Structure 1
Amino acid sequence: MGRPGLWWIVLLQLVDGILGWGKEGHYATCKIAEGYLTKDAIAAVKEFLPASAEGDLAAVCSWADQIRFHYHWSSGLHFADTPDFKCNYQYCRDCHDSHSLQNRCVTGAIFNYTMQLTSASKNSNLVSNYNLTEALMFLSHFIGDVHQPLHVGFLGDLGGNTINVHWYRRKANLHHIWDTMIIDSALKTFYGEDLAIMIEAIQSNITEDWSNQQQLWEYCENNRTVCPNMYASESISLACKFAYRNATPGSTLGDDYFLSRLPIVEKRIAQGGVRLAATLNRIFDSQTRISEA
């Protein structure tokens, strides 16, 4: 049902692209989410995943980055730009693309794909209206994206993409540092370059250090299915407090920056995973489907 054809499988295997957390960050987000899915959500996710995923949501969580070379229209859905130094997010003001087309940003995309999955799960007559495989993969990816602080960064520097600095001895832009390089450095420094160990550490933090916050992360006001505007507001606040601070053009970011920002990155991955699971659980809740039917 809604599964892409052979061209998609080939492209997924051959095309490598990084946008958002990067492959490791998106994989971690979705792997964490898998641990919090209900039985109903697990069944639905497995039904809609492409056969190549072999039932593993995390395996396709970077698909939206890879497919952007084919789906050019999707590139602007990975982020939302905010006015410089405002340090807040407003949907009506900020959710548009470079041509001022409204609702085309990461939060708008999350609303759209949540609506598609929810509509189809509540009304079987609507299943054929949407590609639910793509909707699931886009939603899973974009919930990860909106938790990366610089995916809701300043318009003037394109979310840190035009701020060139040094990450230790390597030249990099600030956005790329938050996408991949903080995670890469953490894998090398603390986790023996083993992503599974890093994921286990984040999961342990959710259970132990952040257990009193987990329900707050899952909460969505007014009984909504998903709350991306709240996630975006958190991200721009963190971007101002942590990502942009002490990261002036030409500066060198080393241990002080890395060690103080890594906890932010790991917590955002944790929040993204918990919230992705909570969203999918609400979408595919069997009792809700029965009552609404």
Structure 2
Amino acid sequence: MKRLPLPLIAASLLTVVALLPAPAAAWGRLGHRLVAALAWDDLSPRTRAAINELLQGEAEPTLPGIANWADELRDQDPDLGKRTSKWHYVNIAEDGCRYVQAQHCPNGGDCVVEAIRAQTAILADRKQPKAARQQALKFVVHFIGDVHQPLHAGYGHDKGGNDRQVNFNGKGSNLHSLWDSGMINAAGLDETAYLQRLRAMPLAVTMSRTPLPPASAEWAEASCAVVVRPGFYPAKAVVGEDYVQTWRPLAEVQLRRGGAQLAATLNAALGR
């Protein structure tokens, strides 16, 4: 049997790796930036000043600029990324979308619900070192975006839709990635245009009367309620425009809600 030259084998392996699906991250880069930008609209002057001070020295010292930091840890700080990987989600759909800490987040708060609470407490504590509060801000901005992506509070058996394969626009994907970015990117809008679209939407959300600690369990349960709606899981592997037209408006509602809840949380933590 004729052996292939080593360079050809290496090139073939790289091609295979490139075709493998990457781990999904809630909302993708655009979605997280949109949530952060929407939140900035509703921040008090005092909160904005506190955020500007905390973000001094960042490459892009804005809320959108740090919104994807927690996902980028996998490359920038693999150890921290691994230790915090479970902070991005909680699996409650198998249990009627009712969050019970002892059942769903028993190991020291390793889920998005408790991570939001813990990191918000660090952010609000002015006795904490600046570096700790800066990191907490980055986590809070990202995780509040995460918890409003429905599949980050969905089923555990399919890893939040990551194991549910779909074909969208002629390309293989999974349901989680479709909700992260596929439907949003298919709108064909850049960040500025999408912000205008979301800002024009009515704010269909009831704000918590006691924003601290954040009502992250309620947010997770509301996201889960989307996942269990009839038709959320497409009947066929090939996802068409009808699915997008039905579900993208709801994804946009979740983005809008995420921005509002992030703003309320930051104002409560930093605006005092």
TM bracket (short chain): 0.7 to 0.9
Q: Is the 8 A contact 2:212 2:265 kept in 1?
A: no
5+ residue gaps, structure 1: 1-15, 121-125, 287-293
- Structure 1 residues 37, 166: CA separation in 2 closer, same or farther (over 3 Å shift)? same
1:79 aligns with 2:68: no
The alignment's TM-score, normalised by the length of structure 2, stands at: 0.84
Alignment of 1:118-133 (within 5 A): 118-120=124-126, 126-128=127-129, 131-133=132-134
- Write out aligned runs for 1:78-227 (5 A): 78-82=88-92, 84=94, 86-96=96-106, 101-120=107-126, 126-128=127-129, 131-186=132-187, 188=188, 191=189, 194-205=190-201, 209-210=202-203, 213=204, 216=206, 218-221=207-210, 224-227=212-215
d(CA) in 2 for partners of 1:150, 1:54: 28
Q: In 2, distance between residues paired with 1:105 and 1:238? A: 19
Rg larger for: 2
- Amino acid in structure 1 at the alignment position of 2:229: K
Letter in 1 for 2:222: E
Post-superposition offset of 1:117:
1.2
1:220/1:226 contact within 8 Å kept: no
Alignment pair present for 1:41 and 2:27: no
Q: CA–CA distance in 1 between the matches of 2:23 and 2:98?
A: 29
The residue aligned with 1:289 is none
Deviations 1:75-128 (A, max 9, x none): 1111111253634333332124xxxx24110111101101101222xxxxx222
Q: Which residue of 1 aligns with 2:246?
A: 260
SS of 2:84's equivalent in the other structure is: helix
Does residue 61 in structure 1 map to residue 67 in structure 2?
yes
Give the deviation of 1:55 after TM superposition: 3.5
Contact 2:212 2:269 in 1 (8 A): no
Distance in 2 between residues matched to 1:270 and 1:260, nearest whole Å: 17
Alpha-carbon distance change, 264 to 83 in structure 1, aligned in 2, over 3 angstroms:
closer
AA of the residue aligned to 1:183: I
Q: Spell out the pairing of 1:273-292 with structure 2 (5 A cutoff).
A: 273-286=259-272
Is the CA contact 1:78–1:105 (under 8 Å) kept in the aligned structure 2? yes
Match of 2:32 in 1: 26
CA deviations 1:8-53 (Å, max 9, x no partner) are: xxxxxxxx98511110000000001011000110011111114234
Indicate whether 1:245 and 2:245 are aligned: no
Q: Give the CA deviation at 1:129.
A: 8.3
Q: TM-score, normalised by structure 1?
A: 0.78
Give the Cα separation in 1 of the matches to 2:240 and 2:115: 35
1:274 is aligned with what amino acid? A
Unpaired runs of 5+ residues, structure 2, are: 1-21
Aligned partner letter, 2:247: R
What residue number does 1:290 align with? none
Paired residue secondary structure (2:42): coil
Aligned-pair identity in percent equals 29
Deviation at 1:171, TM superposition (A): 1.0
CA RMSD of aligned residues (A): 2.1
